[in-house]
Structure 1
Amino acid sequence: MTRRILLSHLSLILLVLLALEVPFGIFYARSELSRFSHTAQQGAMTLAEVCEDKMEHGLTADLPELARAYAQRTGSRVLVADHKGAVLADTGARLPVGRHLSDEPDISTGLRDQPAVSTRSDPSTTGGVLSVTVPGGSDATVACVVRTVYALDPLKAKVRATWLALAAVGLGVLAAVSLIGFALARSITRPVQALERATAQLAEGRISDPPATDHGPPELRRLAASFTRTATRLQHLLQAQQAFASEASHQLKTPLTSLRLRLENFEPHLAPCAQDSLDQALGELERLSRMVQGLLALARLENSAISPEAVDLNTVVADRAAIWAAFADEQQVDIIVSGATGVRVWAVPGAPEQIIDNLLSNALRVSPPGTAITLATVTRAREGTRTPPMTELHVIDQGPGMSEAERHRAFDRFWRAADADHDGTGLGLPMVRQLTHACGGEVALEAAPGGGLDAVVRLQPVESRPHGE
């Protein structure tokens, strides 16, 4: 977050600098060239007037010396031609005296009593040259033409130095803005990071390092104070719920056990016609006891934050199938174990046993005599997704099954199908879902082929993520 805030500030300042410095640099370069051109033109016009005066007084022989003196003083190359375009003096010694240049564009323009200013490339310099050609004469008569040529290397070096100075200023501004922006960003992100750490600690159950409420902008200070109050309230609620879950089991078991004993003591003294009522009362008491135990188990699950560990699913399935085999035999139901071997999954310790126990209990309750319950394990990738493969535990019965609407509601607490027996508490499947989610998996009810119900528990295989993640 600090990096993003800093980059946004630097991007904005960079755009501002470019919007200011680039136009200024271009304007400066053009103005310097215009000023230099104007100065060169004024000097050439002055030289042309002096040359005209020399020619009027018959001092044409003085023109080469005059041209050399002007060239040395201004650092230019000077050429003087007469009214016909013949060369009278050339400080560059490139053209012989007497050569006619009337066919050259700038000389021809000067002979028509018009100045000519242009820039062009030249082999003798890398930056090009500025050529200024002006007529020398009074009235409409042109007595001579003066051409001065200046190398543009010094001018371009000056402009380049200005660009470097602008770049240095821009870098300095960016460096200063970076320091200021980093300080401002840290003042904003430090409270946010403290809130992030406190949120992670709250998710684990306890805040050991609450966020400071006296750092950062006022909005973040108020947010930190509000978060601290909320977290403190949540901790108190969680502690109260944990205390209830731990104490209620001891407080409720004693009166329920006492009530059961008292009801059973009534049996020898009751008339035979009241025996059915006593049996129903004992059954309801047993159901109430199981419901209380289920609620307390769910409360403990919601309050616990145990990390999953690697578990051998085949061993757990075989163990639970062997334990439930005696109960299944009493109902003339077979338990069949199938699937791949050596399957290891991530699960909370003890959770797979409770999941299988609840699913087998539900399956035995609805399985008719002479049928079978299948416990099958398989690892497969989910279609249409790029997620890692999941290990599936199927508990398949051959009972009456459920409609689609009933399968969606089956995980609601205390919900039971309309045709279900009254011994259930409606907490078994909610407990299965809670345990599965604690293991990082998911559970679903599907229609089994040929009738019945297929309870599918999907868990992450050990190979799908690093140990301890």
Structure 2
Amino acid sequence: MQRRLLLVATLLIVCLVAALAVPLALAYSSHRTGQLLLARRADATRFAELTDRAIREGDSTGLGAEVSRYTELYGTAVEIRDRDGRLLAGGGVDEPAAAGRALSGRTTDGLPLVTPFGPSAVLVAEPAGRDAQVSGVVLLRAPTSAARRAVGTVWAVLAVGSLAALGCALVVARRLAGWILRPVGELDRTTRAIADGRLEARIGLVRGPVELRRLEERFNAMADGISAALERQRAFVADASHELRTPLTVLSLRLENLEPHLSRTGRSEYEEALTELDRLTVLLEDLLTLARVEADAGLPGSGPASGLHERLTGWQELYAAKGLTLSVDLADQGPLPGAVARIADIALDNAAKFVPSGGRVAVTLADRTLSVADDGPGLSPAEREAAPGRFWRAPGQGNVPGSGLGLAIAAELARTCGATLALLPNRPRGLVVRLDLAPEGRPSGGADRPGRGAGAGPAGRGRETGR
């Protein structure tokens, strides 16, 4: 927007400067041309009087001497002819058309406009004679070098002045545009920060128009209200999930105590009730985890990549028990955010559920990028886009244990450590969960506060499925 404002301002300023400078330049050229005409017409008139006298006396000797001195002094060619066209003095002009107009009694009343680029010479024709009788004609070709230099000097001064005025006006316009748009730029940066998940971002007090400053204040008030509403929502989910854990635990114990008193016909319903109770417990645990992660609480600090390797060792044992092959290649050994291990747990838990027996899963860490690739059934493009949503389950997989919150938790964990989570297709089939970490040394949001969070490894599987 600033560039467009500057472009419009520049066009307006250029038009204004041109509207002032161009008429001034042309006016001076016209003035200098008029001065040249008056000066040369005065000389031509003097020569016309001498010509008429010489013709009447029949002696043009003195006229030739006068023309010669004038030509040497001013470098101006002068040619004098009588009414029959015979050359009386001078020469070098040879303009029959101008001579014919002068013999008809018309004098030169205008010259071409003198500019720094031309003309190099002008022609002045003056009839000689008395009353209405024309006895001869004076042709004078005058150089315009002096006039062109004067016009060029004035034009140069006007050009320099115009450029200086244009430069000053552009500086003022740039500062004015910056002053007007500074609140807009701050608003753009703040909205981008909020869109990236930094809900605490606010617009600072910046100078600008009163209307835009009021807009900033209202935007901050709106952002505060939205943040407060989100915090209340997260607090409600966390409190509700936490308060429901105790009744669910008591209900589970009471159901287990009922088992000795069940008849054979009611045992299947009893098992189904316990299964649903377990699913409800897993859902509450995942809701608590998600609320904790969204609040940036319960996130361990950074640790070496070797800690991730130890976690993956436990998964290798589980995979071997399921008939799956898990390969690990951790090229990076630098410190990693604690959320990386939990994201790997979520991806490996999903792979363990959906990759058929005999399949392969590969975990690689290189160039600050963690990839978990499997050769399972994979997901379609639409499913990959929807998978990180809350409570999303792939069609036809509703009977697989899990809450549908796993990848949503992983996405929130990635956000807290300044990383990006992406679901990509594997070749020739399968799914790749890729985590692109921020470069080392860059702040990673709230990922450096200690605490406990989502499931810590293979022992917590089943609580973080996202598919």
TM-score for the superposition, normalised by structure 1: 0.71
Pick which of 105-114 and 127-136 moved more.
105-114
Match in the other structure for 1:21: 21
- Residues 394, 457 of structure 1: 8 Å contact kept: yes
- For 1:457 and 1:67, the matched residues in 2 are separated by 102
Match in the other structure for 2:374: 395
Match in the other structure for 1:240: 232
Query: What CA RMSD, in Å, does the superposition of the two structures yield over aligned residues?
Result: 4.7
- 1:206 aligned partner, one-letter code: E
Deviation of the 1:61 alpha carbon: 5.6
Match in the other structure for 1:178: 170
- For 1:284 and 1:57, the matched residues in 2 are separated by 140
**Identity across matched positions, percent:** 27
Distance 1:433 1:456, change over 3 A: farther
- Residues 237, 288 of structure 2: 8 Å contact kept: yes
Distance 1:221 1:287, change over 3 A: same
Aligned positions of 1:89-108 closer than 5 A: 105=96
- For 1:393 and 1:110, the matched residues in 2 are separated by 100
Match in the other structure for 2:314: 323
Distance 1:414 1:204, change over 3 A: closer
Q: Is residue 291 of structure 1 aligned with residue 277 of structure 2?
A: no
- 1:11 aligned partner, one-letter code: L
Distance 1:177 1:346, change over 3 A: farther
Distance 1:148 1:278, change over 3 A: same
- 2:431 aligned partner, one-letter code: A
Match in the other structure for 1:205: 199
Match in the other structure for 2:448: none
- 1:413 aligned partner, one-letter code: R
Deviation of the 1:340 alpha carbon: 4.9
Q: Is residue 300 of structure 1 aligned with residue 321 of structure 2?
A: no
Match in the other structure for 2:127: 135
What secondary structure does 2:442 align onto? Answer: coil
Deviation of the 1:160 alpha carbon: 1.8
Long gaps (5+) in structure 1? 96-100, 121-125, 381-387
- Residues 99, 125 of structure 2: 8 Å contact kept: no
Distance 1:149 1:455, change over 3 A: closer
Distance 1:48 1:224, change over 3 A: same
What secondary structure does 1:130 align onto? Answer: strand
- Residues 41, 134 of structure 1: 8 Å contact kept: yes
Match in the other structure for 1:361: 349
Higher relative contact order (CA 8 A, sep 6+): 2
- For 2:425 and 2:121, the matched residues in 1 are separated by 89
- Residues 85, 102 of structure 1: 8 Å contact kept: no
- Residues 190, 216 of structure 1: 8 Å contact kept: no
Q: Is residue 260 of structure 1 aligned with residue 238 of structure 2?
A: no
Distance 1:114 1:458, change over 3 A: farther
- For 1:223 and 1:241, the matched residues in 2 are separated by 27
- For 2:34 and 2:304, the matched residues in 1 are separated by 85
Match in the other structure for 1:456: 432
- 1:216 aligned partner, one-letter code: P
Give the number of equivalent residue pairs: 430
Match in the other structure for 2:52: 52
Deviation of the 1:291 alpha carbon: 0.4
- Residues 391, 460 of structure 1: 8 Å contact kept: yes
Distance 1:167 1:128, change over 3 A: same
Deviation of the 1:206 alpha carbon: 1.4
Long gaps (5+) in structure 2? 113-117, 444-467
TM-score for the superposition, normalised by structure 2: 0.71
